């Protein structure tokens, strides 16, 4: 890293890796997340224990100290150049706000805390970062240098290296009286660095990545923004009207065999639409915070109006009462309380397949009535949200965010 503080990236597209080059990338060049943490723990144990160290052990321990030195210098390098270049990125520097549709505590399931733990969306098992640091790893870098500056940290590592060479332990040398605290700080910094590598590699996950991929078995194919539940609403009403979707649901869940009518939407397409309705309704209730960009109506693509323009002035949903419309968050929370959304999706798909083979033979049971009500009410709520987003998009003042949940 000689003269690294006097260099510049070749172009703005090179900035992410430029900010991580040499120090951070070099520190982890030959280690995985787990192997680096294991080496760090081995180093701590050795430095706090008495006993002669073999030449091989000393070499390995000093190599770990060298990697820590690179990591710390690399983080300082990142902060210096990010500030100097006045660089910001929408994945790590955007504002996060409370999810206005988050499920009310009264209606949350036992699994809710595990599903919505603030680090759950990472595939790596991070544990040390708080919510804000998980959203913006640079905050963890800055926090690391808040108590001790770069020179002090490098002096400490130099003392650690000396301790290894002289077969002393930290208590005898008297240079670090809180090694466990130091270990935790380094462990946290390491986690932040790993998040930084995901960011630079364009693989920084959205806040609900695990819910989409691991829980629901779906995927987000068009990038970070496409994981927003509000963005996904556009898929439901893309070239499909509210009336057509509702009519298809009523055909699938006809209350009597005499009321069976042909599907307005073809069954293959309807299968995807009904799955999206259930998934989006459930996803809206998950995660405590959304990137503010997810709530920006102007940033949402392909949002179609679910209702004809000439009906907007007098249109109202048929299955959600006026009282329920006043608090959509509460309505959704009650609607999905005790519901296994995956089981509901399977039930809808099974019914659709059976209905295509023999419509008259498919009856209505109590569970089917629950699913029918769930689909119709969720459809109404998604339509109301879509209309609200479209209304906000048309506002001349450019303020396109729905009110934040208090």
* 129-142 tens-digit pLDDT: 999 999 999 999 99
Residue 305 in this model has a pLDDT that exceeds 70: yes
Instruction: Specify if 114 maps to a domain.
Output: no
Q: How confident is the model at residue 155 (pLDDT cuts 50, 70, 90)?
A: very high
Number of domains making up the chain: 2
Instruction: Specify if 101 maps to a domain.
Output: no
Please report which helix (H) or strand (E) contains residue 247, including its range. helix 242-252
Range in 155-169, 203-217, 267-281, 357-371 with the lowest mean pLDDT: 357-371
Instruction: Specify if 109 maps to a domain.
Output: no
Residue 212 DSSP label:
I
Task: Using alpha carbons only, give the angle 350, 352, 354 rounded to the nearest 5 degrees.
Answer: 70
CA 11, CA 86: separation in Å to the nearest integer?
Answer: 14
CA 210, CA 218: separation in Å to the nearest integer?
Answer: 10
Q: What is the pLDDT of residue 404?
A: 42
Q: What is the pLDDT of residue 176?
A: 67
Range in 14-18, 181-185, 387-391 with the lowest mean pLDDT: 387-391
Same domain, 35 and 174: yes
Residue 212 in this model has a pLDDT that exceeds 50: yes
Instruction: Specify if 103 maps to a domain.
Output: no
Q: What is the pLDDT of residue 333?
A: 97
User: Could you read off the pLDDT of 51-74 as tens digits, one per residue?
Assistant: 788 999 999 999 999 999 999 999
pLDDT above 90 as % of the chain: 71
Same domain, 161 and 70: yes
Q: How confident is the model at residue 312 (pLDDT cuts 50, 70, 90)?
A: confident
Residue 205 DSSP label:
P
Instruction: Specify if 107 maps to a domain.
Output: no
Residue 403 in this model has a pLDDT that exceeds 70: no
Instruction: Specify if 179 maps to a domain.
Output: yes
Q: What is the pLDDT of residue 156?
A: 93
Residue ending a domain, choose from 204, 219, 242: 204
Mean pLDDT (whole number) for 206-227: 92
Residue ending a domain, choose from 157, 188, 204: 204
Name the 3-class secondary structure at 123: coil
Q: What is the pLDDT of residue 259?
A: 59
Same domain, 154 and 237: no
- Residue 25: how many CB atoms within 10 A of its CB? 16
Same domain, 187 and 310: no
Residue 82 in this model has a pLDDT that exceeds 70: yes
Same domain, 174 and 232: no
CA 40, CA 269: separation in Å to the nearest integer?
Answer: 53
Same domain, 384 and 322: yes
Same domain, 196 and 286: no
Same domain, 169 and 65: yes
Instruction: Specify if 326 maps to a domain.
Output: yes
Residue 397 in this model has a pLDDT that exceeds 50: no
Task: State in Å, rounded, how far the first CA of the chain is from the last one.
Answer: 47
Residue ending a domain, choose from 158, 179, 204: 204
Same domain, 221 and 174: no
Burial class (CB in 10 A: 0-12, 13-18, 19+), 105: exposed
Question: For residue 96, what are the β-bridge partners?
Answer: 291
Mean pLDDT (whole number) for 336-348: 95
Same domain, 293 and 227: yes
Mean pLDDT (whole number) for 369-387: 96
Same domain, 237 and 156: no
Same domain, 214 and 190: no
CB of 388 closer than 8 Å to CB of 303: no
Tell me how far apart the 2 most distant CA atoms of the chain are, in Å: 91
CA atoms within 13 A on the CB side of 138: 19
Range in 25-29, 280-284, 356-360 with the lowest mean pLDDT: 356-360
Note if the pTM is more than 0.95: no
Residue 401 in this model has a pLDDT that exceeds 70: no
395, two tokens? 């506002």
CA atoms within 13 A on the CB side of 276: 22
CA 253, CA 260: separation in Å to the nearest integer?
Answer: 9
Place of tokens 């991929």: 213
Q: pLDDT averaged over the chain? A: 90
- Structural domain harbouring 81: 4-93+136-204
- Residue 79: how many CB atoms within 10 A of its CB? 17
Mean pLDDT (whole number) for 32-46: 96
Residue 105 in this model has a pLDDT that exceeds 70: yes
Instruction: Specify if 383 maps to a domain.
Output: yes
Burial class (CB in 10 A: 0-12, 13-18, 19+), 49: exposed
């Amino acid at each position: 890293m000689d003269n690294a503080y006097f260099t510049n990236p070749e172009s703005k597209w090179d900035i992410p890796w430029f900010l991580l080059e040499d120090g951070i990338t070099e520190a982890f060049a030959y280690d995985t997340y787990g192997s680096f943490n294991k080496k760090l723990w081995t180093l701590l144990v050795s430095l706090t224990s008495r006993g002669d160290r073999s030449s091989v052990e000393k070499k390995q321990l000093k190599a770990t100290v060298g990697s820590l030195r690179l990591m710390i210098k690399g983080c300082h390098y990142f902060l210096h150049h990010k500030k100097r270049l006045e660089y910001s990125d929408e994945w790590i520097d955007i504002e996060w706000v409370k999810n206005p549709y988050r499920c009310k505590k009264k209606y949350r399931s036992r699994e809710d805390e595990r599903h919505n733990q603030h680090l759950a969306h990472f595939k790596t098992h991070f544990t040390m970062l708080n919510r804000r640091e998980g959203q913006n790893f640079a905050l963890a870098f800055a926090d690391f240098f808040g108590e001790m500056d770069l020179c002090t940290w490098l002096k400490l590592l130099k003392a650690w290296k000396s301790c290894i060479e002289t077969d002393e332990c930290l208590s005898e040398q008297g240079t670090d009286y809180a090694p466990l605290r130091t270990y935790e700080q380094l462990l946290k910094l390491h986690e932040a660095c790993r998040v930084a590598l995901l960011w630079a590699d364009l693989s920084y996950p959205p806040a609900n990545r695990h819910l989409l991929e691991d829980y629901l078995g779906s995927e987000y194919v068009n990038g970070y923004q496409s994981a927003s539940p509000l963005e996904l609403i556009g898929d439901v009403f893309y070239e499909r009207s509210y009336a057509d979707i509702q009519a298809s649901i009523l055909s699938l869940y006809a209350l009597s065999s005499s009321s069976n009518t042909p599907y307005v939407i073809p069954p293959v397409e309807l299968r995807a639409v009904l799955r999206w309705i259930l998934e989006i309704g459930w996803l809206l209730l998950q995660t405590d915070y959304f990137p503010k960009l997810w709530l920006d109506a102007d940033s949402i693509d392909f949002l179609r109006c679910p209702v004809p323009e000439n009906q907007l002035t007098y249109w109202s949903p048929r299955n959600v009462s006026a009282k329920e419309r006043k608090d959509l968050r509460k309505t959704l929370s009650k609607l999905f309380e005790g519901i296994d959304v995956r089981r509901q999706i399977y039930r809808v798909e099974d019914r659709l397949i059976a209905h295509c083979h023999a419509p008259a033979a498919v009856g209505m049971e109590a569970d089917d009535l629950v699913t029918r009500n769930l689909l119709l009410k969720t459809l109404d709520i998604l339509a109301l949200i879509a209309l609200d987003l479209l209304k906000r998009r048309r506002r001349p003042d450019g303020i396109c965010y729905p009110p934040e949940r208090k």
